[in-house]
């Protein structure tokens, strides 16, 4: 198997006045191609901080991070933008669609920053929306779509650049249970197609949809083992 | 990069369109500033052209000499005039003698009529003098002929129903034959020729009872040599007045033109300065609006960055937005300014001229304002941290 994400001794500290708070504590984390990994942890454990570093929105205080051959821990903002565009497909809890744009235009966005021509953008965005089951809602604005449909648009947007990793932070957090399960089924379909997914959640039931679970507690990462389940 | 620029243009434009009312209020400052600049430039230019035109009509090739006289000598004698007429590069010298008297025709009296003495040169150098009949000739001057031309008010008053030509009128008690009539005045010259009679200047001198000529119009052949000719005229006059500089005054049309242009130039600069201040105020309005926009769209900016927008791309988008706002204000201001100057020049009664450089000036100015005042908000947007931005929901 092919390791596409490799984190070694990642530390993130925040400085609050005189105090230094270590939010991520020497994290070692690998993801192989085609894995569906879920990161499970309670509130305040450092999940979002980790996700920001995985997603190249932030750089670690120390440690090494290699994403598909990019030495991300030591990049400037300009290059990080390119890496995000090329390697990462974000899926957020609050969908983060632009309210003034149609579903199609929202899905096109990452391709604009990749410098793809308008004609090709339209074609690819349309195909991607059809794939997530929204072929009839291309022109709808986000406020003309249900929550589940909005999250599907966001997933289409994340997939459009064919990124190395799909990175989802609580993707079902804003949805009711039934819709949440449907979104998880879509994730599993994508996983079956061979997509690499990293999902962050505090909900153990949701976490079980993944092929591998890692737990995070107070900034420390541990592999999920059978006995954890029995204790919990 | 090309795709990105096109998309940035589109995004900026969509945002402006989305907030129509707010965008309009924002550009109002620039709009008013540009309107003021265009209107002021056009109106000042119109007035300047008008004044210059009037002065030119009086003749840039004309040197006017006004004689104040000295206690010993109240004016120029015929000998002095003959002396000046010898100077090179002259088309001719036209002495002017003026007075006021009453005239009588057929028992009807007209009071307070200006009597002006001129010669053939005076008529030869202006085709806007003679209406009907013939002008004064050199023979009339040399033989002190009792002939005259009359202005339009005099025609209306004394000859309402008949032709005045060859009729005899009494000027200051002496009978004169009317040889012609004068054109109606354009209304801009200081002394109206409508209420006057023109006689040979030699005749006027004996009518008024003076041996001196109080004013000369000297016509120059080659305008380029006017300064040299003026100097020679001055030296001849100094000789005539025994080197007393207070005896006379030389008025050169070119000097008047220079003064007029200097005055209007200073005025334009002053007005343009005021207009520029209003443009800066407009720019601050745009900056304010852009800062609000950036704050409002923090999440959007964060998301765009997460999806791969570079700081430069975000900055470009917001700078373009400010530029479009400002340019749009500039274009509307240009239209309003042209309209106002059209109405304004019409109201003052001068000709409307669209000054060529005012269009690039207005557009250039508003573009610079947009770029200058859009830069800081755009920079702020480009520096937003995507993590903070996305969390702000
Ligand atoms: N910018 C920051 N400055 C200082 N402290 C921060 C900052 N961001 C996060 N933290 C701290 O780091 C810790 C982990 O935060 P994080 O957002 O990663 O938690 P989380 O696991 O995502 O929680 P939740 O499930 O509630 O979203 C918290 O104690 C938080 O206060
Ligand atoms: Mg979180």
Give the residue-averaged pLDDT of B54-67. 78
Lowest mean pLDDT among A26-40, A114-128, A184-198, A217-231: A217-231
The nearest alpha carbon in chain A to B308 belongs to: A85
List Cα–Cα distances, A51 to A41, A167, A174, A190, in angstroms: 12, 8, 18, 20
| B263 and B235 both lie in a single domain | no
Q: pLDDT higher for B62 or A140?
A: A140
Mean pLDDT over the full length of chain A? 92
| B47 and B83 both lie in a single domain | no
Q: Give the closest residue to A37 by CA, choosing from A54, A60, A22, A61.
A: A54
Upper half-sphere CA count for residue B25 (Cβ side, 13 Å): 6
Give the residue-averaged pLDDT of B350-376. 89
Residue B286: pLDDT over 80: yes
Q: Which residues line ligand 1 (CB under 6 A)?
A: A 14, 16, 21, 23, 41, 43-49, 202
Residue B230: pLDDT over 90: no
Would you say residue B385 lies in a domain? yes
Lowest mean pLDDT among A107-116, B54-63, B69-78, B305-314: B54-63
Give the residue-averaged pLDDT of A91-96. 93
Would you say residue B283 lies in a domain? yes
Share of chain B above pLDDT 90, in %: 39
Choose which CATH entry (1.10.8.50, 3.10.50.30, 3.40.50.300, 3.40.50.720) describes domain A3-231: 3.40.50.300
Show which residues on chain B lie within 8 Å of chain A, measured between beta carbons.
1, 3-4, 6-7, 14, 18, 299-300, 303-313, 386-387, 390, 393
Q: Residue B380: pLDDT band by 50, 70, 90 thresholds?
A: very high
| B46 and B85 both lie in a single domain | no
**Domain assignment of residue B228, given as a range:** 74-240
Last residue of a domain, one of B206, B240, B274: B240
Give the residue-averaged pLDDT of B77-82. 88
- Model pLDDT, residue B392: 59
Q: Is the Cβ pair A85, B307 closer than 8 Å?
A: yes
Dihedrals φ, ψ of A9, to 5°? 50, 45
- Assigned token pair, B266: 């200073």
In ligand 1, the atom with minimum distance to the C-alpha of A47 is: 21
Q: Is the Cβ pair B390, A118 closer than 8 Å?
A: no
Q: Is the Cβ pair A77, B308 closer than 8 Å?
A: no
Residue B185: pLDDT over 80: no
Give the residue-averaged pLDDT of A61-75. 92
Pick from A82, A98, A117: CB nearest B308: A82
Q: Is the Cβ pair A115, B18 closer than 8 Å?
A: no
Q: Is the Cβ pair B308, A85 closer than 8 Å?
A: yes
- Model pLDDT, residue B186: 66
Q: Is the Cβ pair A114, B14 closer than 8 Å?
A: no
Mutate to test the interface with A, among B16, B308, B309 (most CBs of A within 10 A): B308
| B263 and B379 both lie in a single domain | yes
Q: What angle do CA A55, A56, A60 make, to 5 degrees?
A: 110
Give the residue-averaged pLDDT of A84-108. 94
Mutate to test the interface with A, among B306, B312, B317, B387 (most CBs of A within 10 A): B306
List Cα–Cα distances, B383 to A31, A152, B293, in angstroms: 31, 30, 15
Distance A177 CA to ligand 2 centre (A): 19
Give the residue-averaged pLDDT of A141-147. 96
| B347 and B304 both lie in a single domain | yes
| B221 and B147 both lie in a single domain | yes
The tally of domains found in chain B comes to: 2
Last residue of a domain, one of B212, B240, B268: B240
What is the C-alpha separation between B349 and B336, in angstroms, rounded?
20
| B25 and B80 both lie in a single domain | no
| B313 and B228 both lie in a single domain | no
Query: Which protein residues have a CB closer than 5 Å to ligand 2 (ion)?
Result: A 48
Residue A227: pLDDT over 70: no
Last residue of a domain, one of B214, B240, B266: B240
Give the residue-averaged pLDDT of A105-114. 95
Q: Tokens 């945002």, residue?
A: B15
Distance B390 CA to ligand 1 centre (A): 14
State yes or no: ipTM above 0.90.
yes
| B17 and B106 both lie in a single domain | no
Q: Give the closest residue to A41 by CA, choosing from A32, A55, A51, A31.
A: A51
- Assigned token pair, B61: 């090739």
- Tell me how many residue pairs between chain A and chain B have CB atoms under 8 A apart: 64
Residue B223: pLDDT over 60: yes
Would you say residue B62 lies in a domain? no
- Model pLDDT, residue B391: 79
Mean pLDDT over the full length of chain B? 87
Q: pLDDT higher for B52 or B237?
A: B237
Q: Residue A232: pLDDT band by 50, 70, 90 thresholds?
A: very low
- Model pLDDT, residue B1: 57
Chain A environment of B14 (Cβ under 8 Å) = 100
| B50 and B113 both lie in a single domain | no
Residue with the nearest Cα to atom 8 of ligand 1?
Answer: A49
Residue ranges per domain, chain A?
Answer: 3-231
Q: Give the closest residue to B302 by CA, choosing from A37, A159, A55, A142.
A: A55
This prediction has a pTM of 0.73
DSSP-derived 3-state class of residue A146: coil
In ligand 1, the atom with minimum distance to the C-alpha of A41 is: 21
Chain B environment of A77 (Cβ under 8 Å) = 310-311
What is the C-alpha separation between A15 and B95, in angstroms, rounded?
97
Chain A environment of B3 (Cβ under 8 Å) = 112, 115-118
DSSP-derived 3-state class of residue A231: helix
- Model pLDDT, residue A145: 96
What sign does the dihedral B309-B315-B320-B326 (CA atoms) show? positive
Pick from A55, A94, A112: CB nearest B4: A112
Structural contact between residues B381 and B315, judged by C-beta atoms closer than 8 angstroms: yes
Dihedrals φ, ψ of B86, to 5°? -75, -20
Structural contact between residues B180 and B149, judged by C-beta atoms closer than 8 angstroms: yes
Q: pLDDT higher for A229 or B192?
A: B192
């Amino acid at each position: 198997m092919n390791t596409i994400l490799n984190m070694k001794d990642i530390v993130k500290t925040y400085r609050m006045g005189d105090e230094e708070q270590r939010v991520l504590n020497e994290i070692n984390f690998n993801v192989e191609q085609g894995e569906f990994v879920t990161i499970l942890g309670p509130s305040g454990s450092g999940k979002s901080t980790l996700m920001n570093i995985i997603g190249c929105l932030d750089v670690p205080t120390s440690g090494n991070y290699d994403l598909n051959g990019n030495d991300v821990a030591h990049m400037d903002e300009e290059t990080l933008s390119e890496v995000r565009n090329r390697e990462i497909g974000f899926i957020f809890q609050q969908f983060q669609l632009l309210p003034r744009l149609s579903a199609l235009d929202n899905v096109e966005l990452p391709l604009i920053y990749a410098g793809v021509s308008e004609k090709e953008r339209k074609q690819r965005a349309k195909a991607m929306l059809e794939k997530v089951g929204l072929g009839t809602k291309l022109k709808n604005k986000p406020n003309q779509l249900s929550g589940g449909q909005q999250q599907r648009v966001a997933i289409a947007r994340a997939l459009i650049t064919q990124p190395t990793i799909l990175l989802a932070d609580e993707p079902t957090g804003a949805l009711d249970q039934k819709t949440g399960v449907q979104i998880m089924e879509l994730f599993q379909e994508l996983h079956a197609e061979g997509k690499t997914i990293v999902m962050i959640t505090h909900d153990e039931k949701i976490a079980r949809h993944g092929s591998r679970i890692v737990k995070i507690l107070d900034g420390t990462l541990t592999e999920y083992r059978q006995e954890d389940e029995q204790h919990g | 990069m090309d795709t990105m620029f096109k998309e940035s243009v589109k995004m900026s434009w969509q945002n402006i369109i989305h907030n129509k009312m707010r965008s309009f209020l924002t550009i109002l400052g620039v709009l008013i500033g540009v309107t003021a600049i265009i209107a002021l430039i056009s109106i000042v230019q119109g007035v300047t052209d008008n004044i210059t035109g009037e002065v030119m009509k009086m003749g840039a090739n004309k040197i006017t000499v006004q004689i104040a006289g000295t206690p010993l000598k109240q004016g120029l004698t015929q000998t002095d005039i003959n002396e000046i007429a010898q100077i090179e590069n002259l088309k001719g010298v036209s002495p002017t003698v003026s007075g006021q008297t009453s005239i009588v025709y057929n028992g009807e009296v007209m009071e307070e009529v200006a009597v002006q003495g001129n010669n053939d040169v005076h008529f030869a150098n202006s085709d806007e003098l003679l209406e009907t009949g013939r002008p004064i000739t050199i023979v009339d001057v040399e033989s002190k002929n009792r002939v005259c031309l009359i202005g339009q008010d005099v025609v209306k008053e004394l000859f309402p129903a008949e032709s005045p030509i060859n009729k005899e009128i009494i000027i200051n008690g002496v009978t004169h034959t009317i040889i012609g009539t004068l054109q109606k005045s354009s209304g801009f010259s200081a002394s109206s020729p409508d209420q006057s009679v023109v006689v040979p200047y030699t005749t006027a001198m004996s009518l008024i009872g003076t041996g001196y000529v109080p004013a000369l119009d000297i016509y120059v052949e080659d305008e380029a040599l006017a300064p040299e000719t003026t100097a020679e005229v001055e030296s001849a006059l100094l000789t005539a007045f025994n080197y007393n500089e207070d005896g006379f005054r030389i008025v050169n049309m070119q000097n008047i033109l220079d003064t007029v242009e200097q005055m209007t130039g200073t005025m334009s600069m002053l007005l343009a300065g005021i207009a520029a201040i209003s443009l800066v105020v407009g720019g601050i309005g745009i900056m304010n609006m852009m800062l609000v926009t950036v704050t409002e769209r923090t999440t959007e900016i964060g998301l765009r960055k997460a999806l791969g927008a570079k700081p430069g791309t975000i900055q470009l988008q917001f700078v373009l937005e400010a530029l479009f706002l400002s340019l749009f204000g500039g274009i509307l201001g240009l239209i309003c300014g042209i309209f106002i100057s059209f109405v304004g020049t019409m109201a003052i009664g001068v000709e409307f001229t669209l000054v060529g450089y005012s269009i690039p000036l207005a557009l250039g100015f508003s573009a610079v304002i947009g770029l200058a005042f859009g830069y800081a908000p755009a920079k702020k947007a480009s520096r937003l941290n995507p993590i903070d931005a996305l969390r702000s929901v």
